[in-house]
Structure 1
Amino acid sequence: MGRLTGKVAIITGAGSGMGAEQARLFAKEGAKVVGADMNVAGLQAVVDEIKANGGDAIAVKLNISSSEEWISAIQTAVDTFGKLNVLVNTAGIVGPFTFKAVDHDPDEWDKVMAINLKGAFLGCKYAIPEMIKDGGGSIVTVSSIGALIGGQGGTGYGAAKAGLIGMSRNIAVDYGKDNVRSNVICPGQIRTPMSAFLETEDEQAKAAKQYYLGKTPMGHFGDPIDIAYAALFLASDESKFITGTELPVDGGVMAN
């Protein structure tokens, strides 16, 4: 308990799945949480749960691909809690689940890039100045093992997630002397609403599930809390000398 005491954290995608679990855990560990999501109902339910359990949190509706909404969200965080120390870029979409570039619609490509890559970039762009004002901070960006190997998502998805790694490394180098750290988590298959299609009776979904399980040495998918604990470590001072790196949380896929 208390690993984030005194810190203010913005978590995107906090209305469900990995982001919601991060919000709950961060609040439990003492952070003042600014949950951000387009899913207002889900987000408010998470914030209400945090408050009912004695935590401190607010909900902010946020389209992460909008500069204006990012500026407003960060200003709300600072106005409410006085500072900003942590940004967790979790929100994202899967996009078209195809493995072949020729099947990828260009408009869908642009959508995946706008949300999965540009959205995190905008968060970093507007959060970093506030972190510097308070002596530094930690950026945790959720990418995917699809950024590191093929066959783990669509072409656009993999490209966007790989872009997050390049972005994060550059931020680590550019702002290290400002004590702003930047790291990436690369999840494998995690049980979330986004991956729920893998549990359906659709033949393609069943084949995909077996494919991913076959690639995972531990033989099962992860849970949102597995990502939340990794994010907690990278957000806390326990990782104060770690920046510019990627942490796979994948049940051993990258070792296979």
Structure 2
Amino acid sequence: MQVKDKIVIVTGAGSGIGAATAKHFAKHQAKVVVSDIKKEKAQKIVDDIKANGGESVVITANVAKFDEVEQLIIKTVEQFGRLDVIVNNAGIGPKNMAKTGEYTLEDWDSVIAVNQTGVFYCMKLALQQMMKQGGGNIVNIASLAGLKASLNNLSYSASKFAVVGMTKSAALEYATKNIRINAVCPGYTESALLDKLLSVRPDMDQMLKSVIPMKRYGLAEEIAEAVVWLASENTKFITGQTITLDGGTSL
């Protein structure tokens, strides 16, 4: 995939899909900014990339804080001179899954702040930089929960539906500006969020697999391949799309 020497930011890159995506970009010779709220986790990913001959740095940021996202973009441009790609992956789930009438204000506010407002902050500031330099590419990590109903998971579902909408709206706005914006919608994928769910409800494992035609969870590396492909020069005529990677679940 054609991403050699592209300057790439991946948010929430300390683990899961974000970490796999950062490593996959580096494998294809992009220069990767590994951003995460936890510096130690991000540094481990950078160390791994460097050990395999790649170029990578850590810039910590809480995407729910505008000033920290602003510094993420500024520091990236100061170090590398431009920003070619941003992957808006940082995301969280609620502490408690509950029906809408019993949903806590804390879970609503915290999830929306990271998953929806955080993506807006990253898109807003990345787009400003990309307009200055004459182009760029944004890949947002949405979810199958942003395409279909998700029980007892209101804030997460709302935030991911929002990411799909923001992706399409912004893609339309910037289609003539050499800026492409797409999203990937993973289904049930091996990740910290899934681990958290299964730790609370171990009985969910077989139930979830029973609704996946492939009878298995996705791998973070499989999602990463789609992200890097969308960010590459191989997909110049693709914008405003949501690519669903769910083992057939949506069928």
Q: Same fold (TM over 0.5)?
A: yes
Tell whether 2:150 aligns with 1:130: no
1:23-38 matches, within 5 Å, as 23-38=22-37
The answer to whether the 8 A contact 1:5-1:30 is kept is yes
The answer to whether the 8 A contact 1:34-1:58 is kept is yes
Give the match for residue 238 of structure 1.
234
- Cα distance in structure 2, aligned partners of 1:18 and 1:124: 19
Shift in Å, 1:215: 1.3
Give the match for residue 43 of structure 2.
44
Number of residue equivalences: 251
Give the match for residue 155 of structure 1.
154
Tell whether 2:226 aligns with 1:227: no
TM-score in terms of structure 2 length: 0.96
Shift in Å, 1:141: 0.4
Residues 26 and 4 (structure 1), Cα distance of their counterparts in 2 relative to 1, 3 Å cut: same
1:1-256 matches, within 5 Å, as 3-98=2-97, 100-151=99-150, 154-200=153-199, 205-255=201-251
Query: For 1:253, what is the secondary structure of its paired residue?
Result: coil
Q: Give per-residue Cα distances to partners, 1:71-115, cap 9 Å, x unaligned.
A: 111111101111001010011001145252112112320111000
Query: Which letter does structure 2 place at the counterpart of 1:59?
Result: V
Q: Which runs of 5+ in 1 are unaligned?
A: none
Query: For 2:56, what is the secondary structure of its paired residue?
Result: strand
Query: For 2:17, what is the secondary structure of its paired residue?
Result: helix
- Cα distance in structure 2, aligned partners of 1:8 and 1:153: 38
Query: For 1:62, what is the secondary structure of its paired residue?
Result: coil
The answer to whether the 8 A contact 2:100-2:152 is kept is no
The answer to whether the 8 A contact 2:88-2:140 is kept is yes
Query: For 2:32, what is the secondary structure of its paired residue?
Result: strand
Q: Give per-residue Cα distances to partners, 1:164-212, cap 9 Å, x unaligned.
A: 0111111101111111111110001111122113554x5xx12322222
- Cα distance in structure 1, aligned partners of 2:23 and 2:64: 24
Query: For 1:61, what is the secondary structure of its paired residue?
Result: coil
Q: Which runs of 5+ in 2 are unaligned?
A: none
Residues 59 and 153 (structure 1), Cα distance of their counterparts in 2 relative to 1, 3 Å cut: farther
- Cα distance in structure 1, aligned partners of 2:156 and 2:150: 11
Query: For 2:247, what is the secondary structure of its paired residue?
Result: coil
Query: For 2:189, what is the secondary structure of its paired residue?
Result: coil
The answer to whether the 8 A contact 1:94-1:153 is kept is no
What fraction of aligned residue pairs are identical, expressed as a percent? 37
- Cα distance in structure 2, aligned partners of 1:153 and 1:185: 22
